[in-house]
Amino acid sequence: MDESQAQCSCSRDSDASALSHNKRIVFVRRPGENNFPTADCFQCEDCPAPNGSDVAAGQCIVRTLYLSVDPAQVPSPLTIFCSL
């Protein structure tokens, strides 16, 4: 496990505890031009989970189990440089 994974323990909890709170990852700082994001660009926060009173008529609450970013969606520094 590398340093960025050790700093934020956003793991999947049991169903009972997952209903009372959420963990969110917030993008807090841009890494700079032609630099890759590092762990200090993100912050892991605890926040209350939404409940029935937070949902308006015609809306629903969705629980995300897995999230992925395809490496092809992330531009490389070479791609950014060539497009300038």
With a cut of 80, say whether residue 76 has pLDDT above it: no
Q: Which residue has the higher pLDDT, 43 or 76?
A: 43
Cα separation, 19 vs 49, in Å, equals 6
Is residue 72 within 8 A of residue 59, CB to CB? The reply is: no
Is residue 54 within 8 A of residue 22, CB to CB? The reply is: no
Please give the backbone phi and psi of residue 77, each rounded to the nearest 5 degrees, phi first. -55, -35
Q: How many domains does the chain have?
A: 1
pLDDT score at 5: 46
Q: Which residue has the higher pLDDT, 42 or 76?
A: 42
Q: Which helix (H) or strand (E) holds 82?
A: helix 77-82
Give me 80's structure tokens: 């950014």
Collapse the DSSP code of 41 into the 3-class scheme (helix H, G, I; strand E, B; otherwise coil) and give the result: helix
Is residue 38 within 8 A of residue 31, CB to CB? The reply is: yes
Residues 2-57 pLDDT 10s: 444 445 555 554 555 556 788 888 989 888 877 888 888 899 999 888 887 888 88
Q: By residue range, what is the domain housing residue 19?
A: 3-82
pLDDT score at 84: 54
